């Protein structure tokens, strides 16, 4: 990957007119040709080459160079050059100000022509000495961007021993203005591309399926096979085994990967609202329906609809869902028009649907519609060998979201994780690792930081999560967590504040607010 180029400088450009001279028809034609070349690519290095080649050609010069300000050292550096000395210039710098012609142009934001460099005190002879190039004359113009100079374009030695004139200044200034804008567009594109790569990498890490267990890999293999088709998939398994993760995996490996992935947790939506949530509603369909609203089915058009905990749907909603599977269309609540959508449906449940069918709580005909391609996910206790991989994965994930820099778990901490049956499966493991990540005061998570199952803190936890008014619960959590942190740091305010990422003064106010005495720590 090409290193990012930074060319934004903070030198102000003079607002005084430079006295642009008229240019001829031939020069205008050549300038239009240059513009076309500049717009032909967004490759940063190629743009620099086109700018320099064009500067040399437009002014009929022997060589050209583009210098950018390196703000770390406060000097101009050669970004790219043409001519015999171009390879020698790559590592050279030019001072700012009156010590060099390019430095003068950068500081003052004005073009400068020196047709006999030996008679000008601003000529920096060090470049010729380093490159063995013989400079007779120089024309330099600022590379402008809004109210700043972002560099300098120089051309050297007019061909045939001629001198640089106003027409050369005009051509080079016009080129510089176009070049600066094109370079900014290219830089913005590179920044966006880099941001996109970072986001994609984070997403890939977040939704990565981790593990080497044979049964897990069999399930992933099945998911990959079915992804290419439009077949309805049903994922089964205990809560927290990663059903949504596998559903997203199927979506991302399917022809619909560029479409939406819409998740509906059927257990989280009240029965009275589930139909309007799934199918949408028309204005006036019920009290409060002040405008038409699209449902999840419409939102998932050209993509995938994931119905999690489908066993929690009421029988009436099951009928409407069955009708969709049979007819591939539905009506909004309060509407009469039939709506067709192009979606793939994936369902998931942690319930025994055949038993629910016997109990008349789930429709048998709907079951056969959704159970076309079942995939079962095994619980974490059946794949304990994957715990080190999963824990390491979660640490990497949390490191991308914070600046804490946790490296790994101690062996004793890992042993503690392996010695537990994980009724909450991967979701519970993630929560435990995340809490340990917060509690850890070193770069390594210790066994002390791992809080799982029924330990010494179980009674305190039950008290903490007992039913109570919201603000009382918040107060109790603050008190419990602050006491834990202070005990862990043996009352060291600075260390405790660092662990909590707050100011020591705020820690003192919290202690006072929560009524924590020194003797309690």
CA distance 72 to 221: 52
**What share of the chain has pLDDT > 90, as a percent?**
35
Torsion, CA 501, CA 503, CA 508, CA 512, rounded to 10: -70
- Mean pLDDT across the stretch 210-226? 95
Which residue, 171, 176, 181, is CA-closest to 57? 171
pLDDT greater than 80 at residue 445: yes
Q: Half-sphere exposure of residue 87, counting CA atoms within 13 Å on the CB side?
A: 1
Q: pLDDT digits over 324-364, tens only?
A: 999 889 999 888 889 999 999 999 999 999 999 999 999 99
Sign of the Cα torsion 344, 349, 353, 357 reads: negative
pLDDT greater than 50 at residue 17: no
Q: Are strands 233-236 and 373-376 parallel, antiparallel or unpaired?
A: parallel
Q: pLDDT digits over 49-75, tens only?
A: 777 788 888 888 888 888 887 777 778
Cα distances from 19 to residues 16, 51, 165, 169, 174, in angstroms, run 9, 23, 12, 9, 12
- Mean pLDDT across the stretch 308-320? 93
CB 176 within 8 A of CB 32: no
Q: pLDDT digits over 133-160, tens only?
A: 788 888 988 887 777 777 888 888 888 8
457-521 in CATH: which number? Answer: 1.10.10
CA distance 476 to 460: 10
The per-residue pLDDT for 42 is 60
Q: pLDDT digits over 355-393, tens only?
A: 999 999 999 999 999 999 999 999 999 999 999 999 999
214-378 in CATH: which number? Answer: 3.40.50.300
Which residue, 149, 167, 125, is CA-closest to 76? 149
Angle at 381 between CA 378 and CA 385, to 5 degrees: 95
Complete DSSP assignment for 78-145: EEEE-STTHHHHTT-EEESGGGSHHHHHHHHT--EEES-GGG-TT--THHHHHHT-----EEEEEEEE
CB 218 within 8 A of CB 375: no
Cα distances from 230 to residues 12, 250, 256, 306, 475, in angstroms, run 59, 10, 9, 13, 50
Q: pLDDT digits over 68-120, tens only?
A: 877 777 788 777 666 555 566 656 788 888 778 888 888 888 899 888 888 88
Mean pLDDT of the chain: 81
- Mean pLDDT across the stretch 180-194? 65
Q: Judge if 379-453 and 457-521 fold alike in CATH terms.
A: no
Q: Class of the 379-453 domain?
A: mainly alpha
Q: Which of the four pLDDT bands, split at 50, 70 and 90, describes residue 24?
A: low
Q: Output phi, psi for 465, to 5 deg.
A: -95, 10
Judged by phi (left if over 0) then psi (alpha if -120 to 50, else beta), residue 443 lies in alpha
DSSP 463: H
CB 69 within 8 A of CB 106: yes
- Mean pLDDT across the stretch 285-304? 90
Please state the pTM of the whole predicted model.
Answer: 0.56
Domain spans in the chain, listed from the N-terminal domain onward: 11-191, 214-378, 379-453, 457-521
Cα distances from 24 to residues 61, 136, 170, in angstroms, run 18, 26, 11
Q: Class of the 11-191 domain?
A: alpha beta
Measured in whole angstroms, the distance separating CA 510 from the mean position of its chain's CA atoms is 35
pLDDT greater than 50 at residue 458: no
Cα distances from 475 to residues 263, 468, 501, 504, 516, in angstroms, run 34, 11, 19, 19, 12
Q: Which of the four pLDDT bands, split at 50, 70 and 90, describes residue 172?
A: confident
Q: Which of the four pLDDT bands, split at 50, 70 and 90, describes residue 11?
A: very low
Q: pLDDT digits over 276-291, tens only?
A: 999 999 988 888 888 8
């Amino acid at each position: 990957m090409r290193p990012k180029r930074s060319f934004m400088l903070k030198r102000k450009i003079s607002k005084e007119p430079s006295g642009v001279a008229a240019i001829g028809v031939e020069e205008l034609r050549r300038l239009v040709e240059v513009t076309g070349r500049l717009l032909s690519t967004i490759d940063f290095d190629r743009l620099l080459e086109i700018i320099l080649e064009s500067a040399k050609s437009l002014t009929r010069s022997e060589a050209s160079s583009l210098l950018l300000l390196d703000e770390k050292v406060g000097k101009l550096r050669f970004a790219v050059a043409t001519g015999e000395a171009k390879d020698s210039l790559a590592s050279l710098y030019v001072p700012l100000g009156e010590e060099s012609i390019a430095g003068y142009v950068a500081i003052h934001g004005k073009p400068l022509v020196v047709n006999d460099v030996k008679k000008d005190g601003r000529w920096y002879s060090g470049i010729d000495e380093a490159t063995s190039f013989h400079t007779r004359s120089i024309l330099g113009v600022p590379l402008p961007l809004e109210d700043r100079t972002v560099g300098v374009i120089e051309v050297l030695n007019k061909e045939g021993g001629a001198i640089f004139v106003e027409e050369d200044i005009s051509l080079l200034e016009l080129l510089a203005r176009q070049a600066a804008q094109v370079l900014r567009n290219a830089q913005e594109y590179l920044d966006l591309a880099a941001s996109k790569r970072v986001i994609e990498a984070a997403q890939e890490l977040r939704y990565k399926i981790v593990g080497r267990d044979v049964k897990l890999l069999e399930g992933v293999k099945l998911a990959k096979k079915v992804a290419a088709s439009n077949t309805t998939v049903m994922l089964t398994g205990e809560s927290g085994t990663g059903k949504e993760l596998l559903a997203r995996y199927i979506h991302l490996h399917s022809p619909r990967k560029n479409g939406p992935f819409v998740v509906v947790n059927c257990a989280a939506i009240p029965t009275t609202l589930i139909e309007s949530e799934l199918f949408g509603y028309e204005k006036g369909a019920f009290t409060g329906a002040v405008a038409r609203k699209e449902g999840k089915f419409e939102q998932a058009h050209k993509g995938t609809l994931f119905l999690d905990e489908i066993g929690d749907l009421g029988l009436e909603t099951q009928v409407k869902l069955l009708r969709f599977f049979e007819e591939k269309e539905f009506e909004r609540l309060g509407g009469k028009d039939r709506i067709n959508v192009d979606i793939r449906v994936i369902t998931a449940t942690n319930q025994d649907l055949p038993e629910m069918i016997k109990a008349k709580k789930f429709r048998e005909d709907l079951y056969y519609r959704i159970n076309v391609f079942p995939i079962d996910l095994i619980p974490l206790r059946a794949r304990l060998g994957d715990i080190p991989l999963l824990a390491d994965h979660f640490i990497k994930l949390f490191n991308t979201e914070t600046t804490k820099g946790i490296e790994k778990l101690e062996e004793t901490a890992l042993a503690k994780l392996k010695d537990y049956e994980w009724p909450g499966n991967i979701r519970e493991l993630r929560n435990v690792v995340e809490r340990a990540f917060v509690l850890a005061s070193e770069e390594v998570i210790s066994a002390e930081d791992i809080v799982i199952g029924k330990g010494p803190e179980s009674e305190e936890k039950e008290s903490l999560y007992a039913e109570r008014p919201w603000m009382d619960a918040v107060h109790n959590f603050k008190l419990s967590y602050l006491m834990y942190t202070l005990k862990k740091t043996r009352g060291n305010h600075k260390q405790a504040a660092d662990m909590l990422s707050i100011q020591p003064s705020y820690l003192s106010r919290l202690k006072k607010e929560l009524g924590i005495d020194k003797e309690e720590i």
